[in-house]
Amino acid sequence: MIDPSARRSGYSYGPGTGTFAGRVGVRVAGTGIALPSKRLNNADLMKLMDTSDEWIVQRTGIRERRIIDADKKESTKTLGAAALRTALAEARMEASELDLIICATMTSEMQCPATANLICDILGAGTTGSFDLNAACSGFVYGMNIAHDLIRGGAYRNIGLIGADTLSTLMNYNNAGRGTAIIFGDGAGAIVMRATDDVNKGLIAQAMHCDGTGWKEIFVPKCERDFPAGAVIDPATMNKVHMNGAAVFKFAVSTFSNLIQETLDKGHVKVEDVDMFVCHQSNSRILESARERFGLPHDKLYVNIDRFGNTVGASVPLCLHELRAAGRVREGHKVMFLAFGGGLTWGSSLWQM
Q: What are residue 28's DSSP bridge partners?
A: 193
Cβ distance to ligand COA smaller for residue 77 or 242: 242
Specify whether 210 is catalytic. Answer: no
Tell the smallest beta-carbon distance from residue 353 to ligand COA (Å): 25
Give the DSSP H/E element, type plus range, for residue 325. helix 315-325
Specify whether 244 is catalytic. Answer: no
Tell the smallest beta-carbon distance from residue 246 to ligand COA (Å): 4
Cβ distance to ligand COA smaller for residue 12 or 281: 281
Residues engaged in binding ligand COA (CB under 6 A):
51, 55, 59-60, 137, 178-179, 182-183, 243, 245-246, 248-249, 252, 282-283, 310, 341
Cβ distance to ligand COA smaller for residue 25 or 139: 139
Tell the smallest beta-carbon distance from residue 287 to ligand COA (Å): 10
Catalytic residue from among 103, 117, 120, 137: 137
Question: Which position's Cβ is nearest ligand COA?
Answer: 245
Helices (H) and strands (E) in the chain, counts: 10, 13
Catalytic residue from among 120, 310, 319, 321: 310
Amino acid in position 179: G
DSSP 105-149: -SS-SSSSS-HHHHHHHHHT-TT-EEEEE--GGGHHHHHHHHHHH
Tell the smallest beta-carbon distance from residue 316 to ligand COA (Å): 11
3-class secondary-structure state, position 239: coil
Sequence-ordered list of residues with C-beta below 8 angstroms from that of 105, at least 6 positions apart, any chain:
76, 80, 115, 132, 133, 134, 139, 162, 163, 164, 165, 312, 313
Between CA 17 and CA 20 the distance in angstroms is 9
Amino acid in position 284: S
Tell the smallest beta-carbon distance from residue 245 to ligand COA (Å): 3
Cβ count within 10 A of residue 292: 10
Cβ distance to ligand COA smaller for residue 57 or 199: 57
Between CA 283 and CA 280 the distance in angstroms is 9
Specify whether 137 is catalytic. Answer: yes
Tell the smallest beta-carbon distance from residue 47 to ligand COA (Å): 13
3-class secondary-structure state, position 214: helix
Cβ distance to ligand COA smaller for residue 12 or 138: 138
Cβ distance to ligand COA smaller for residue 159 or 279: 279
Residues belonging to the active site: 137, 280, 310
